[in-house]
Amino acid sequence: AGEGSWYGAVAVDGKVYFSPLDAPCVLRLDARTGDVHMISTQRIFSGHSKWGGGVACGDSIYFAPRGANCILQLELGSGIMRGIETDTIFAGNFFKWGNAVVGGDCIYFPPARATCVLKFEPATNRLTG
């Protein structure tokens, strides 16, 4: 992978998860051992400028949609990944939302080129903007 492949990172339980901006996978670094593991995202979305920085909330990490049409969710216990579709809120294709922040039980993504703040409630899977 080359320059700009990953953008942003989240550390949880001794592991660091790097967000796939242009890379085809989340990069997981075990900070204790130095082992690196790639977790493919290609079945969810492919292309460039996909996801930005993420946040840990509950048992998952959520990565901000930049060019992708979805929030990327990685369940830490199972390793399962899924996309949470965002096109119903804003359907642009480049740098839609910036890096996420957790507030209470919700995740907020500030608008970059999108026209609204994106709010996701993990407990109910509710997405608003």
CA separation, residue 91 to residues 6, 45, 63, 105 (Å):
23, 14, 17, 25
Residues 11-49 pLDDT 10s: 999 999 999 999 999 999 999 999 999 999 999 999 889
Is residue 92's pLDDT more than 90? no
User: For strand 81-85 and strand 15-20, is the pairing parallel, antiparallel, or unpaired?
Assistant: unpaired
Q: Locate 50 and state its tokens.
A: 């996909």
Share of the chain above pLDDT 90, in %: 91
Task: List, in order of start, the domains of the chain with CATH numbers.
Answer: 6-128 (2.120.10.30)
Are 62 and 83 contacting, i.e. CB atoms less than 8 angstroms apart? no
